[in-house]
């Protein structure tokens, strides 16, 4: 779904107008000079994040992968910062993770962290934009299923494996987790689940495959994926299948009707409090079926949205900037991974098993950070200072710039190698978008996950689809 020029200009003008009004008000009210500097620095950050998102969307006809990352940066970090700005001026500290009071003197450092990260991304994009302007060969790449029955059986098998992982409490909210050697297998299953759903939705909405059972398979897959997402107790797992279906839906030029939106809205209004109650019940009832019945009982025996729940939900969404504030304050105390020393493992760590490469980095930094924060020796709780905070913890502004530059280079090359004019590029784009809209994991593990995803998708296409080329025409 492309942006018209009028819509594009209207959105940009509205964003700048709202910011100008808010900034003017804040300048009149703020007393701390450092916060006024932060407000000034917000101008290039807004330009490099939300404005650049719409620039890329309008010019390319779709948001690039990095554009999604910039949008998430704005909504997750800058919106909370602007909302919290008056409180930074009236208080000396900010409560982070409901336990730690962090000095507001680190607000300026946090804003600089965001700005430097975005500048690194912009620098990488500028370096590679001339490569993107080269002409492509006049051949289109198309794909067809080798065997529908095999594809159907494999897709359902992957979904069943995902269900087994959730029911066995291996994945999902409150899960016991998996050992480090088995984690790669779990990641492959999760990736394949997303790949199957995206491919099925693409066949349906672009009318690539004529088999009538594709419709049935899509509806079954969506329903089971949503049910699985709810059973996991994680809202993310409910939202991801919806996004994976909406991307090909809108890309195919479809526009939703009002009546098509009513039912999903009512379902979400019901599922939201039910999911919250289910997560709470899992703490008292580890058995998921018992927790599910307890959640249903609580949901129907009380108001859908209480004032307390509404306040909590609102505050929960404006936590993005506070964790970054914490990350900026403890850089000198963090010693787990420093100065990009683990990046030497990137070329091989994404595919080498741990028994072959026992020293490769582990994704336990979140628990290590929690132990540092609470000054304890053991925990299974994980926290994040956001993607920007992790890069800053590597050793300050220089590792921050280098890691974001490398991340942008990787994503730019991926979009150069796998364009959206064929199914493989589309599936890679759709699956990777999920990671772009979450500003949580650090750059090293983001790149590692990207390599794993592309590898799994490549094997998937080799096994299930035939590739053929057709001559492009101007008709």
Instruction: Please indicate, yes or no, whether residues 207 and 94 belong to a single structural domain of this protein.
Output: no
Residues 252 and 268 occupy one common structural domain: yes
pTM: 0.85
Q: How many residues can be counted in the chain?
A: 475
**Model confidence at 309, in pLDDT bands (50, 70, 90)?**
very low
299 and 253, same domain (yes or no): yes
Higher per-residue confidence, 179 vs 155: 155
Domain contains 142: no
158-to-145, 150, 152, 436, 465 alpha-carbon distances in Å:
17, 12, 10, 24, 17
Give the CA dihedral 299, 301, 306, 308, nearest 10 degrees.
-90
d(CA 41, CA 111): 7
CA–CA separation, 381 vs 245, rounded Å?
32
pLDDT of residue 267: 59
Q: Domain span at residue 235?
A: 149-317
Tell whether 292 and 379 lie within a shared domain: no
The answer to whether residues 156 and 292 belong to one domain is yes
Domain assignment of residue 475, yes or no: no
Question: Would 40 be classed as within a structural domain?
Answer: yes
Let me know if 431 is exposed, middle or buried by CB neighbors in 10 A (0-12, 13-18, 19+): buried
Q: In this predicted model, which residue has the larger pLDDT, 202 or 43?
A: 43
Look over the chain and give the mean of its residue pLDDT values, rounded to a whole number.
80
**CA pair distance 66, 381, nearest whole angstrom:** 30
438 plus 303 within the same structural domain: no
Residue 128 dihedral angles phi and psi, to the nearest 5°? -100, -5
pLDDT tens digits, 235-252: 667 778 888 888 888 888
State how far the Cα of 281 lies from the Cα of 302, in Å rounded to an integer.
15
* pLDDT score of 372: 86
Is 141 inside a domain boundary?
no
Are both 228 and 257 inside the same structural domain? yes
Separation of first and last alpha carbons in the chain: 21
Q: Is residue 469 part of a domain?
A: no
Higher pLDDT, 243 or 444: 444
Q: How far apart are CA 341 and CA 395, in angstroms?
A: 11
Q: What angle do CA 111, 113, 116 make, to 5 degrees?
A: 110
Tokens of 254: 């479809």
Number of domains in the chain: 2
Where does a domain end: 261, 294, 317?
317
Summarize the confidence of residues 376-404 as an average pLDDT.
88
Note whether 401 and 423 are same-domain residues: yes
Instruction: Write out the two tokens for 170.
Output: 């291996």
Instruction: Look at residue 439 and tell me if it is in a domain.
Output: yes
Nearest CA among 32, 154, 52 for reference residue 105: 32
pLDDT, tens digit, 9 for 90 and up, residues 114-160: 999 999 999 999 988 755 544 444 456 677 888 888 888 898 898 88
In this structure, are 188 and 39 located in the same domain?
A: no
Classify residue 118: in a domain, yes or no: yes
The per-residue pLDDT for 188 is 86
Do 86 and 195 lie in a common domain? no
Among 276, 302, 317, identify where a domain stops: 317
196 and 251 part of one domain: yes
Give 40's pLDDT tier (boundaries 50, 70, 90): very high
Say if 257 falls within a structural domain. yes
Same domain (yes/no): 126, 168: no
Domain boundary (269, 293, 317) is at 317
| Phi (first) and psi of residue 210, to 5 degrees | -90, -5
Q: Which of 16, 21, 79 is nearest to 43 (CA)?
A: 16
pLDDT tier at 280, thresholds 50, 70, 90: low
HEC secondary structure over 182-235 = CHHHHHHHHHHHHHHHHHHHHHHHCCCCCCCHHHHHHHHHHHHHHHHHHHCCCH
Beta bridge partners of 141: 469
């Amino acid at each position: 779904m492309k942006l018209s020029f009028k819509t594009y200009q209207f959105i940009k003008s509205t964003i700048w107008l709202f910011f100008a009004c808010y900034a003017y008000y804040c300048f009149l009210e703020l007393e701390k000079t450092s916060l006024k500097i932060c407000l000034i620095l917000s101008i290039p950050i807004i330009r490099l994040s939300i404005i650049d998102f719409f620039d890329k969307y309008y010019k390319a006809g779709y948001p690039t992968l990095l554009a999604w990352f910039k949008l998430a940066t704005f909504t997750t970090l800058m919106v909370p910062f602007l909302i919290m700005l008056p409180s930074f001026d009236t208080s000396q500290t900010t409560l982070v993770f409901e336990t730690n009071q962090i000095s507001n003197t680190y607000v300026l450092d946090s804003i600089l962290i965001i700005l430097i990260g975005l500048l690194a991304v912009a620098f990488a994009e500028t370096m590679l934009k001339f490569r993107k302007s080269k002409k492509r060969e006049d051949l289109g790449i198309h794909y067809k299923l080798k065997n529908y029955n095999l594809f159907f059986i494999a897709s359902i098998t992957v979904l069943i494996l995902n269900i087994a992982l959730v029911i066995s409490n291996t994945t999902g909210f409150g899960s016991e987790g998996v050992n480090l050697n088995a984690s790669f297998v779990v990641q492959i299953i999760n990736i394949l689940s997303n790949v199957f759903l995206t491919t099925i939705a693409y066949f349906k909405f672009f009318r690539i495959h004529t088999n009538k059972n594709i419709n049935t398979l899509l509806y079954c897959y969506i329903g089971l994926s949503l049910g699985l997402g709810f059973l996991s107790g994680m809202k993310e797992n409910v939202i991801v299948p919806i996004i994976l279906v909406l991307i090909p839906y809108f890309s195919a030029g479809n526009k939703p009707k009002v009546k098509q939106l009513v039912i999903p809205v009512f379902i979400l209004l019901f599922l939201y409090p039910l999911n919250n109650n289910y997560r709470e019940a899992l703490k008292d009832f580890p058995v998921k079926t018992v927790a599910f019945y307890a959640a249903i009982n609580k949901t129907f025996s009380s108001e859908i949205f209480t004032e307390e729940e509404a306040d909590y939900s609102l505050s929960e969404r404006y936590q993005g900037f506070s964790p970054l504030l914490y990350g900026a304050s403890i850089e000198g105390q963090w010693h787990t991974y420093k100065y990009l020393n683990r990046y030497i493992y990137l070329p091989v760590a994404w595919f080498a098993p741990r028994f072959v490469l026992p020293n490769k980095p582990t994704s336990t930094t979140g628990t290590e950070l929690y132990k540092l924060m609470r000054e304890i020796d053991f925990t299974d709780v994980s926290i994040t200072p956001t993607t920007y905070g992790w890069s800053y913890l590597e050793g300050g502004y220089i590792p921050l710039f280098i890691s974001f530059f490398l991340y942008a280079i990787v994503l730019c090359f991926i979009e150069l190698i796998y364009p959206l004019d064929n199914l493989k590029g589309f599936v890679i784009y759709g699956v990777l978008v999920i990671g772009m809209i979450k500003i949580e994991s650090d750059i090293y593990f983001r790149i590692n996950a990207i390599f794993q995803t592309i590898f799994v998708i490549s094997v998937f296409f080799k096994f299930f689809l035939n590739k053929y080329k057709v001559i492009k025409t101007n008709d």
